[in-house]
Amino acid sequence: MDDVKPKWWQVFAAGVTVTLLGLCAIGVGTVGLGAADQLASVGSFALTGVGTLVTVASLVQAVRQQRQRPLVVEPAEPPPPAPPSGVAPLAADLARLRDVTNVDHERLFGVDEAIDRLGESLRNPGGASIISIFGGAGVGKTALAYELIRRHAEEAGFRRVASVSAKFSHIDRVGHLERDAERENVDWHALLVELAQQLAPGSDFNDTLIEQQLPQAMPAEPCLIVVDTSKPGRPRSRSGTSPVRASSTRTRSSSPPGRRWRAPASAACAS
């Protein structure tokens, strides 16, 4: 129906045309065409008036249409994606793990076969939930674990890595076994708090409620947790008893019972 109605500019043009015709008729009448043309002169004035009214009405219509016209807002283009800030979580976790491991990563050699074998276990979604690496102090268990994670964690689908140390001694740069007196009495609650702070930095955790708080700190994406210990036995709880609860399933050692990672000459890590 709107397309059938004349546009305001069409009405305006018609009004201007009628007004001009009326003015022309008035001009001709003033020249003098005799008394018989007086009636035509009256018609000329009427024609001019009608044309003027039509012209004014068209202008009023134009103003109304301009006011009633909805404001058309062009859809804004979506902003370009923000460039990634900082470092990817997995890369940051690996960098932190490298910093906290007290080993010489540049002198690890002869362990490719063992790392590949462990990598297969790490990449197997239906495999072990816990992989343990056994061996004497200073043979390179920590370095082996770090290299395993560096090479295979991302390929295995892990997007976060958290690590805690329950080590009570370490081999220094010259091969001496040094005891860490500050960690002699460490318990699992302190380790869990340290773990939660890595997974959810900025959150408030305490060792009293950590067993309830830790599930909330766990990320949604797959997470690999590393516990590094060199003391025989297990860390003890405040009550003096060993932890008895476990939540893992399908656990498996990296070597059959009775065998240990002995770091032979062809597969050694100089500490």
Which pLDDT score, from 0 to 100, does residue 23 have?
A: 64
Which pLDDT score, from 0 to 100, does residue 142 have?
A: 83
CB 11 within 8 A of CB 58: yes
* Residue ranges per structural domain of the chain: 8-68, 89-239+248-253
Which pLDDT score, from 0 to 100, does residue 34 have?
A: 54
In CATH terms, is domain 89-239+248-253 a member of 3.40.50? yes
Which pLDDT score, from 0 to 100, does residue 10 have?
A: 64
Q: Give the count of beta carbons closer than 10 Å to the beta carbon of residue 137.
A: 13
Which pLDDT score, from 0 to 100, does residue 136 have?
A: 76
Which pLDDT score, from 0 to 100, does residue 30 have?
A: 59
Residues of the chain whose pLDDT is less than 50? 1-4, 36, 76, 78-83, 85, 232-271
Which pLDDT score, from 0 to 100, does residue 141 have?
A: 82
Pairing mode, if any, of strands 130-132 and 251-253? parallel
Structure pTM? 0.50
Output the six-digit token pair for 110: 């002869």
Which pLDDT score, from 0 to 100, does residue 82 have?
A: 41
Which pLDDT score, from 0 to 100, does residue 108 have?
A: 72
Q: Among 147, 153, 151, 135, which Cα is nearest to 89's?
A: 153
Q: What is the distance between the alpha carbons of residues 42 and 206, in angstroms, rounded to a whole number?
A: 103
